[in-house]
C-alpha cells in the first residue's frame, strides 16, 4: 500500500483502500481499478491523494499517530461543528471580541457545539494512548475542503505527543488536547470571504483576521466544558517569543518551564500555548492550501528550526524535533548521495534507534525505470547517504 498524489496516479492502477469524502461517504472501494473518468471525478470532488496498490511496497505500513478510520470520521464531526458556527455567526460585524461574543453566542447552542468537540477530543486522545506510536506523524490532507478540521485534529495529535514527551500528567494532557482541537475556533466568527481569501490581505482585513485568537478565547472561556488554559491556547497560539506576535505581544522564555510553574508576568506566554504555536505552524506548512502546495515534512522541520528562538520556544522546538521524523514511513524520497544517488524510493520503516535514519527501499532509477530487484538501504548502517522527501 502506498499513498500517492492524485495527479501521479495512472489510469488502470488499483486502489489499496477506500476513497472517502465527507468523513464516511465512500466513493471508491479497495481493489478498484481507476479509469481516467474516475480520476477526473475524484479531482472534481477535491480528493488530493489515494492509497494505491503497489506490489513493490506490499507489507509497508505508513506512519500514523491516530488511526486513519477514526481520523476520517472525527474530521467529519469536527467539520460539521465548525460549519455550524460559521453559518450562525461568520458574517456579523465585529467591533470588540468580548462584547461581540456575549451578544452572539446563546449558551444552549454553544454548549451543544462544545459537547461535540469535547467528545471528539476525548476519542482522539484515547486512540493516541491506545496506540504504540511514540512519534508525531502528520497525515497529509485528503481533500481540498475541510482544511480547518484536518488542521485541528493534527494539531491536537502533535500537542499531545509533545506533552507526553515532556511527561505531563493525564489531566494536563487532556486540557492540551482540548486546546489543540479548538485553538482556531475563533476563525469561524470571521467573515467567510476573509477566511477563504487566497490573495494578500489589506491592512484592515489583516487587523480583522488578528481578532480570531481573542474571539476563540472569549468563546471558550465562558463555557465550563472547556478549561481556562485550553482557552488560553486559542488566545495565545500566535504570540512570539520575542514579543512580535499577536493579539497581545506577549513574550516567551525560550525554555521549558517546570510543571505547574507559575507565569512570571501577565506578559508571558503560557507553556500550553507555546506547544500549540509550534505544532500549529508545522501542520500549516505541511497542509495543502489553494494558493500553495503542501511543504514536505523535512523542509517544514527546517522552517520550524529557523523560527526557534525568535518566534517559537527554542527548547520546546528541540522536543518537537525529537518526536517528529523527517522522513515518515511511506514517504516518497530521493537519494542524494552514494551508489544510488538520483534514484527514488520510499521510507519503509523507522528505526527505533534514530528516527531520522530509516530503512528505505529503492524503487526507480533517475530515468523513472523500476528496479528489477529489491534494494533496501538501512541509513543507520550507511551514515554518508543523504535523502530528501519529494
Q: Quick check: pTM over 0.75? A: yes
Nearest to 279 by CA among 301, 302, 261: 301
pLDDT digits (tens, 9 = 90+) for 158-213: 999 999 999 999 999 999 999 999 999 999 999 888 898 888 899 999 999 999 99
pLDDT (mean) for 297-316: 99
d(CA 355, CA 323): 8
Residue-by-residue DSSP string for 76-107: HHHHHHHHHHHHHHTTS--S-HHHHHHHH--H
Looking at domain 2-57, its CATH class is alpha beta
Q: How far is CA 230 from CA 176, 220, 270, 344, 372, in A?
A: 6, 8, 10, 43, 54
pLDDT of residue 144: 85
Least confident interval from 176-190, 261-275, 364-378: 261-275
pLDDT digits (tens, 9 = 90+) for 204-239: 999 999 999 999 999 999 888 898 999 999 999 999
pLDDT of residue 142: 87
Query: 68-323 domain in CATH 1.10.3210.10?
Result: yes
pLDDT digits (tens, 9 = 90+) for 353-367: 999 999 999 999 999
pLDDT higher for 197 or 309?
309
Domains 2-57 and 68-323 alike in fold: no
pLDDT of residue 199: 82
Domain boundaries, the chain: 2-57, 68-323, 332-389
pLDDT of residue 89: 76
pLDDT of residue 21: 84
Amino acid at each position: 500500500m502506498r499513498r500517492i498524489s492524485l495527479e501521479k496516479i495512472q489510469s488502470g492502477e488499483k486502489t489499496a483502500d477506500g476513497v472517502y469524502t465527507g468523513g464516511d461517504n465512500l466513493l471508491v472501494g479497495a481493489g478498484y481499478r481507476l479509469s481516467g473518468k474516475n480520476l477526473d471525478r475524484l479531482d472534481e470532488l477535491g480528493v488530493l491523494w489515494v492509497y494505491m496498490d503497489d506490489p513493490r511496497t506490499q507489507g509497508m505500513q505508513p506512519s500514523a499517530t491516530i488511526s486513519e478510520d477514526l481520523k476520517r470520521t472525527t474530521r467529519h464531526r469536527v467539520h460539521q461543528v465548525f460549519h455550524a458556527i460559521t453559518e450562525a455567526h461568520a458574517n456579523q460585524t465585529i467591533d470588540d471580541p468580548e462584547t461581540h461574543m456575549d451578544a452572539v453566542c446563546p449558551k444552549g447552542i454553544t454548549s451543544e457545539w462544545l459537547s461535540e468537540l469535547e467528545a471528539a477530543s476525548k476519542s482522539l486522545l484515547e486512540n493516541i494512548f491506545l496506540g504504540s506510536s511514540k512519534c508525531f506523524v502528520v497525515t497529509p490532507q485528503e481533500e481540498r475542503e475541510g482544511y480547518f478540521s484536518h488542521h485541528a485534529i493534527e494539531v491536537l495529535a502533535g500537542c499531545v505527543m509533545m506533552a507526553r514527551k515532556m511527561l505531563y500528567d493525564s489531566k494536563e494532557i487532556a486540557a492540551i488536547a482540548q486546546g489543540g482541537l479548538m485553538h482556531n475556533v475563533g476563525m469561524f466568527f470571521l467573515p467567510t470571504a476573509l477566511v477563504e481569501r487566497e490573495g494578500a490581505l489589506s491592512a484592515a482585513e489583516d487587523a480583522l483576521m488578528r481578532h480570531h485568537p481573542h474571539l476563540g478565547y472569549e468563546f471558550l472561556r465562558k463555557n465550563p466544558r472547556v478549561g481556562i488554559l485550553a482557552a488560553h491556547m486559542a488566545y495565545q497560539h500566535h504570540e512570539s517569543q520575542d514579543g512580535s506576535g499577536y493579539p497581545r505581544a506577549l513574550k516567551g522564555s525560550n525554555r521549558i518551564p517546570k510543571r505547574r510553574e507559575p507565569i512570571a508576568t501577565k506578559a508571558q506566554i503560557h507553556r500550553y500555548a507555546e506547544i500549540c504555536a509550534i505544532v500549529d505552524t508545522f501542520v500549516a506548512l505541511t497542509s495543502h492550501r489553494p494558493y500553495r502546495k503542501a511543504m514536505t515534512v523535512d523542509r517544514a522541520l527546517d522552517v520550524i528550526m529557523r523560527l526557534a528562538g525568535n518566534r517559537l520556544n527554542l527548547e520546546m522546538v528541540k522536543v518537537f524535533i525529537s518526536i517528529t521524523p523527517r522522513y515518515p514511513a511511506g514517504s516518497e524520497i530521493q537519494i542524494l548521495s552514494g551508489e544510488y544517488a538520483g534514484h527514488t524510493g520510499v521510507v519503509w520503516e523507522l528505526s527505533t534507534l534514530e528516527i531520522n535514519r530509516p530503512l528505505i527501499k529503492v524503487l526507480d532509477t533517475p530515468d523513472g525505470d523500476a528496479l528489477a530487484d529489491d534494494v533496501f538501504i538501512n541509513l543507520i548502517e550507511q551514515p554518508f547517504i543523504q535523502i530528501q522527501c519529494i
